Amino acid sequence: MMDVGRHPKVELLSYSEVESVAGFVGNFNVTIRKKARYVNEKECTICGKCSEVCPVAVPDEYQQGFSSRKAVYLPFPQAVPSSYVLDMENCLGNNPIACGKCAEVCEKSCIDYDDQDEMMNIEVGVVIAATGMDVYDPTEYDEYGYTRYENVITSMEFERLICAGGPTGGNFIRPTDQETPQSIGFIQCVGSRTQNGRGNPYCSNICCMNTVKDTLLLCDHYPGVEAKVFYMDIRAFGKGFEDLYMRSKEEGVKYIRGIPGDVVEDPNTNNLLLTVENTTTGKLEKHELDLLVLSQGVIPRKDTDHVKKLLTLSSTSDGFIMESHPKLRPVDAPTKGVFIAGCMESPKDVKDSVTQASAAAARASILLNAGKTKIEAITSIINDDKCNYCGLCSRVCSYNAILSSDKKTQKLPVVIQAACAGCGACAAECPQDAIIMRHFTDEQIMAQVEAILEVDPHKHLLTFACNWCSYAGGDMAGTSRLQYPANCRLIRTMCSGRVDEKFVMHAFKLGAPMVLVSGCHFADCHYINAVHWTQKRMDKLWNKLDRLGIRADRLQLEWISAAEGQKFAKVMRAMEDKLTAVTQEEIDYTMKVLSEEDRKKAAKKGGEVTV
Amino acid sequence: MTARPVLFKCLSCGHEYEGTYDPDNVAERTCPKCRSNSVRRLPLAKKK
C-alpha cells in the first residue's frame, strides 16, 4: 500500500466514496466524494499529540472493539496516507468550553474543524472494482453462545488477540480472566455450507486454511496449548496448503470431524462445555475448553447493491458480483470497461485476490494501450421515424446504453454502440417497433417462425432459446444423446429478453399449439438482468391470452442453463405431452381470434374499420 | 416499492400458491410442486 501511495502514476484517494459513474468504456465520468478528514493529511506528522489529549474514547473498530480509540485517531498502523483523521460524530468540537484540545496541541496546525467534503470529477477509461467483503455475524447461531459467553470469540477477534500489533500486544489472553487459555477449540463453517436457512450455502474458501494457520501460530507462540478443530471437511486445496495442514496435525492439533450442537458455559470457571458427535467414531463426545473460536464465513459487502447500481453489475444467487464468463472472462464485468477483482467476485484468499487483481490490471491495460475497443455487431439501432419518445427503451436497458428521449424537446433516444451488449430487450419492449436489433431483426425472427410453422404447424414445438444458456442446454442434451421429441424447433435469440410479444402471438396465429420461451436462470443472465424483463413480459402475455380466451398454459417459460441438458430434454418431453392435449378446435379458435385482433389493429392504424 | 403478497399459478402442473412480488426486485419463480418455471402471477381481482 505504501508503494501505491508513493507511485508517481497512481493517485490514491483514500477516505473517499464514489458517488456516481456515468459514460461507457473509454469515457467513464466518475464523481467522487472526498470526505472531510478535519486533519491536513499533507502536514500531519503523526506525532500523536492530538490523540493523547483527546478526552473521547470509543471502541476501536480495527481492534474488533477489544480496545478503545480517540475521536482523533490513526485508523490502523500502516494507514496510507499516514495521517490522523477526526471522527466528527464523536468529537466534542471546537467549542473552547467543550474541547478543542487537539487543535491547541497540534504544532503544525493541521486540525481544521471547518473542513468540508469535497466533490471531484475524474475521467477514466476503465474501472476496476475491488470492494472486498464482509464477515458473517455468528450471533444467528444461538447454540454457540457468541456474545452470551465472553469466551466465545470469532476468528477475526482471535486474529487481533494474537497479533503483536493487537490490543494486548500479542499476549494471547481470554476475555474473562485475562489468562492465557490452555485449551482452545475452533468451530469451522460458521455461516458457511448450510442448508437450514441460517448462514449461507456456499463454502467461504478461506476459513479452513485460516484456522490451520491460527493453530500453527498457537503452537508456535504457546507450546503446550491444546487446540481442537471441529470440522465437517478440511478443504486444504492449493499450493502448500496440504503440507500446512499436515504440519498442524504433527504439532498435536486435534481435528475432530463433527460440528458441535451445543455450547454451555461453566458459571464457576467460565470454561465452555461442547457437545459434539464425532462422525468418524460415531460417538457423542464432550469437550471442556477455555476458549472457543468461531471460524466465521465470508459474505458479500452490505453496500454491494449500491456498487451494482453504480457500475451496472449483476450478482449471483449468493450475492457476489457476477463475472462476464466464469471460465473465459473471469475478471471482466458484463459492462464493457469494468473489471472486478478480489472478494467482491467470490470468497478468496490473498494469493487468489492478488492473482485476480493482476489479471484485472492486465485486462484494463490492454484496453488503455489500444486506445480503442472492438464491439460486437449485434447492437440496437433506433428508427427515428417510428420513435414516439416514450423512453421505455432506456428504462429496460441494463447497461444504461440508451440515452433517454425527451418528448418536450423532441430529443430522440441514442444508443451508445460501445455500451450496447446486444441483448435486444429494448427492441422487444418498444411498442412502436422503432428499434432494430442488428442480426436479430423482427423480420428475421418472424421469418423463422413462419418457416417452422409453414407445414403441419400443429405438430411442432416452437421454442425460443437464448444463445448462452438454453440453446447450449439443447446442445448439451444432444451431445449427451438424451432422448427428446424430434418435433421441437428452436429459434435462437441472444437473450430471452429479445422475445417480443408479437413473435409469440404470430406463432399462435399461424397455428402453433405450444410455444416455449426459455432463457438463462436469473443468476446466470449474461445481460445483467435482461431476463427480468422476460418474466415481466410473460406475465403480460399470459394475461393477454386469458383475455382473448386462449389457454395461457399453451405458452410455457423455462430457465435452462447450458449444463442442464437433462432439464432441456425433460422440458421438451413435458411440452410434447401438453401438445397432444391441444385440440384442433383450440388452434382454429386461436388463429381466428388473433387474425381478428390483427385486423382490428390494422384498422385502428388506418383510421377505418374493415368488415 | 415493497414486496406485496400475490397468488401464483404454475402453468405446467396447475398448482396455486401464495408468494410475494416486488416489481423492483424480480425473483426467479419456480413451482414448489413440479419445479417448472412457468409460474404466472395471477392478476388481482378487481374491486367492485
**Buried/exposed code over A366-381 (b: 16+ C-beta within 10 A; e: otherwise):** ebeeeeeeeeeebbbe
Contact A536 B11 (CB under 8 A): no
Q: In angstroms, rounded to a whole number, what is the distance separating the alpha carbons of residues A432 and A138?
A: 53
Task: Locate A581 and state its grid cell.
Answer: 392435449
Cβ within 8 Å, pair A535-B43: no
pLDDT in tens, A301-356: 999 999 999 999 988 888 999 998 888 899 999 899 999 999 999 999 999 999 99
Q: In sequence order, which residues have a C-beta less than 8 Å from that of residue A127 and are 6 or more positions away?
A: A21, A28, A30, A311, A337, A338, A339
Q: Which of A464, A556, A564 to mutate to test the interface with B (most CBs of B within 10 A)?
A: A556
Is pLDDT at A197 greater than 90 in this prediction? Answer: no
B23 — phi, psi (to 5°)?
-60, -25
Q: Taking CB atoms and an 8 Å limit, are B11 and A542 in contact across chains? A: yes
Nearest to A534 by CA among B38, B15, B2: B38
What the block records as the C-alpha cell of A42 is: 499533507
pLDDT at A611: 38
Residue A601 CB coordination number (10 Å): 10
Which comes out higher in pLDDT, residue A3 or A594? A594
Strands, DSSP E only, in B1-48?
4-10, 16-21, 39-41
Compute the mean pLDDT over every residue in chain A, rounded to the nearest whole number: 93
List pLDDT tens digits, range A237-275.
Answer: 999 999 999 999 999 999 999 999 999 999 999 999 999
- Provide the shortest C-alpha distance from residue A540 to chain B (in Å): 10
Q: How far apart are CA A12 and CA A34, in angstroms?
A: 11
- Tens digits of per-residue pLDDT, A563-593? 999 999 999 999 999 999 999 999 999 999 9
Return all residues near A303 (Cβ < 8 A) that are at least 6 apart: A131
> In this prediction, does ipTM exceed 0.90?
yes
Closest B-chain CA to A560: B37
Looking at residue A94, its pLDDT comes to 65
Searching chain A, which residue's CA lies closest to the CA of residue B25? A532
Exposed, middle or buried, B29 (CB in 10 Å: 0-12/13-18/19+)? buried
Exposure pattern of B3-27 as b/e (b: 16+ CB <10 Å)?
A: eeeeebbbbbeeeeeeeebeeeebe
Report, in angstroms and rounded to the nearest whole number, the Rg of chain A calculated over CA atoms. Answer: 31
Question: Residue A81, preceding bond cis, omega within 30 degrees?
Answer: yes
Residue for cell digits 454451555?
Answer: A264
Q: How many CB pairs under 8 A join A and B?
A: 40
- A542 CB neighbours in chain B (<8 A) are 11, 40
- Put residue A501 in one of left, alpha, beta given phi > 0 → left and psi -120 to 50 → alpha: alpha
Q: Note whether B28 contacts A522, CB cutoff 8 Å.
A: yes
Report which of A258, A198, A202 is spatially closest to residue A228, judged by C-alpha positions: A258
Task: Quote the minimal CA–CA distance from B5 to chain A in Å.
Answer: 16
* Three-class DSSP category at A473: helix
- A565 burial type by CB count under 10 A (0-12 exposed, 13-18 middle, 19+ buried): buried
**What single DSSP character describes residue A24?**
-
Mark residue A4 as left, alpha or beta (left: phi above 0; alpha: psi -120 to 50; beta: remaining): alpha
The grid coordinates of residue A141 equal 447461531
To the nearest whole Å, the CA of B19 is away from the closest chain A CA by: 15
Q: What is the pLDDT of residues B29-42, one digit of tens each?
A: 999 999 999 999 98
pLDDT digits (tens, 9 = 90+) for A477-492: 999 999 999 999 999 9
Q: What pLDDT does A609 receive?
A: 46
Write out the DSSP string of A551-575: -GGGEEEEE--TT-HHHHHHHHHHH
Task: Give the helix ranges, DSSP H, for A402-529.
Answer: 425-429, 442-452, 470-479, 501-509
**pLDDT value at residue A409:** 87
Reported pTM: 0.85
- Exposed e or buried b per residue across A172-184, where buried means at least 16 C-beta atoms within 10 angstroms of its C-beta: bebbbeeebbebb
| Chain A residues lying within 8 Å of B46, measured CB to CB | none
Q: Return d(Cα A393, Cα B24) in angstroms, integer.
A: 17
Tell me if B38 and A529 make a contact (CB, 8 A cut-off): no
C-alpha cell of residue A36: 472531510
Q: How far apart are CA A549 and CA A554, in angstroms?
A: 12
DSSP β-bridge partners for residue A33: A17, A119
The secondary element (H helix, E strand) that includes residue A99 is none
Lookup result for grid cell 457476489: A320
- Amino acid A610: pLDDT: 43
pLDDT band at A82 (very low <50, low <70, confident <90, very high): confident
Strand partners of residue A465: A492, A518
Residue A504 identity? V
Q: How far is CA A497 from CA A237, A320, A427, A530, in A?
A: 40, 23, 9, 6
| Residue from A547, A558, A560, A576 to probe the interface with B (highest B Cβ count within 10 Å) | A558
Beta-strand relationship, A85-86 and A514-519: unpaired
Q: What are phi and psi of A586, to 5 degrees?
A: -60, -45
pLDDT of A387 strictly over 70 = yes
Mean pLDDT score of chain B: 87
Task: Name residue A121's beta-bridge partners.
Answer: A31
Q: Which of A522, A539, A574 is opposite residue B12, by nearest beta carbon?
A: A574
